[in-house]
Amino acid sequence: QVHGIVRRSSSFNTGRIEHLYKNPQAHIEGNMKLHYGDLTDSTCLVKIINEVKPSEIYNLGAQSHVKISFDLAEYTADVDGVGTLRLLDAIKTCGLINSVKFYQASTSELFGKVQEIPQKETTPFYPRSPYGAAKLYAYWIVVNFREAYNLFAVNGILFNHESPRRGANFVTRKISRSVAKIHLGQLDCFSLGNLDAKRDWGHARDYVEAMWLMLQTEQPEDFVIATGEVHSVREFVEKSFKHIGKTIVWEGKNENEVGRCKETGKIHVTVNHKYYRPTEVDFLQGDCTKARQKLNWKPRVTFDELVREMVDADVELMRNNPNA
């Protein structure tokens, strides 16, 4: 049985989990049960945890958009930082310290301005955003509860993990959606920020398996989960277009740079400064040797497969609903 927390909103915000309902049309729950709650409300967390008495808790709740965290800095700290403390405190209040296993979604953004390449569990942290700083508090409060109360609590330091369900304003999904629309003739051009940011991109499906594996071990430990491969935003754009039969040629410099279609001569990509972050994280590359050795985990989906899957899914989506 899986229990989830859903925030109250005046519009439906369960689009990404619709397929998990017993009856998606009627929102009838089967083995998945949803409870109204919020990481900023400790009373509801105590109530839900006390009622459900879970054996495992995965804290995947966060304001997780790095760029937006600069605009919503206090809210990000409240949800991503203090929200984690509220969950841990709720476990303690409900007397479940000895029976529950806790997974914290930590992030490669903790490494920010990287202190060594590649980044592993022992690499010093240097967050470069309110999101990274809030997640750093969460990371250490998890370690503290593990050491102070002997709670089985782990941090999964996951590098970027993507899928067709990624939020529409994240760069990978923005690219796959826009390329799909261009392919179907619904769009001519879209704008991006820093084309040269480099990331270690994996598939969410692989990474969620790693989360589960961390809670099946004898001793609670923190793990870096990554592919070890690095690709730029520029490369993600090129591969996405290649999949629909277009070759992108880059012209110009900095914010005047454009991506032109070699076959048609049309400009499909421009650069807009508003998508740049006040402090940029230029390069992230993970070393998941520890996870390979201790969890017997390795990524299965390649970068090329991930790009193709995302573009194909969005072509299908936009074909059925151009306004999606």
Torsion of CA 119, 170, 63, 1, to 10 degrees: -90
Name the pairing type of β-strands 101-107 and 152-158.
Answer: parallel
Please give the DSSP secondary-structure letter assigned to residue 254: G
Catalytic residue among 58, 76, 123, 131: 131
The pair of three-digit structure tokens given for residue 33, joined into one six-digit string: 């049960």
Residue 149 falls in the annotated catalytic set: no
Q: Is 107 a catalytic residue?
A: yes
Tell me the three state secondary structure of residue 24: coil
Who contacts 180 (Cβ-Cβ below 8 Å, separation ≥6)?
244, 311, 314, 315, 317, 318
Catalytic residue among 76, 84, 107, 123: 107
- List C-alpha distances in Å: 130 to 273, 323, 324: 20, 32, 30
Nearest-CA neighbor of 61 among 82, 46, 43? 82
Measured CA to CA, the distance from residue 254 to residue 53 in angstroms comes to 53
279: annotated active-site residue? no
| Among 134, 157, 128, 162, residue whose Cα is nearest residue 276 | 128
Contact 132, 114 (CB under 8 A): no
In the chain, what is the straight-line distance between the N-terminal and C-terminal CA atoms, in Å? 31
d(CA 121, CA 118): 10
Task: Identify whether the C-beta of residue 114 lies closer than 8 Å to the C-beta of residue 123.
Answer: yes
Cross-strand partners of 224 = 157
Out of 84, 103, 109, 227, the active site residue is 109
Active site residues: 107, 109, 131
